[in-house]
Amino acid sequence: MSDDGSNGASIIGPEGRPITEEDLPPPNTKRWVMRRKAEVVAGVRSGLISLEEACRRYTLSVEEFLSWQRLIDSHGVRGLRATRLQDYRNGQPVARPRVMSGAAE
């Protein structure tokens, strides 16, 4: 163990560089960009952090984490884009409702 209590282990992250537990997103993360989601998935897959710890630390449900993992497996890191999530969720493109300006009838 290192002086800060971590085990000092590192893995190769989604951007191809080594990351440690200290490089994972902070627990108070509010804006989940593709890279941060992919780092958490890589950390869990490699054993850097447990699934239970990741869910607790980031206030995620197991289902949400598993959906990130499935999207990476099916579509790569780009599948984690929030704007594309609905398109990938059912495996088919989804028609988005058009936003109409003006008063509702």
pLDDT class of 69 with cuts at 50, 70, 90: very high
| The predicted structure's pLDDT at residue 44 | 96
pLDDT, greater one: 5 or 50: 50
- Sequence-separated (6 or more) residues with CB below 8 Å from residue 5: none
pLDDT class of 87 with cuts at 50, 70, 90: low
Query: pLDDT at residue 15 above 60?
Result: yes
DSSP summary character for residue 102 = S
pLDDT class of 54 with cuts at 50, 70, 90: very high
| The predicted structure's pLDDT at residue 72 | 94
Q: Please state, in angstroms and rounded to a whole number, the distance separating the CA atoms of residues 58 and 102.
A: 39
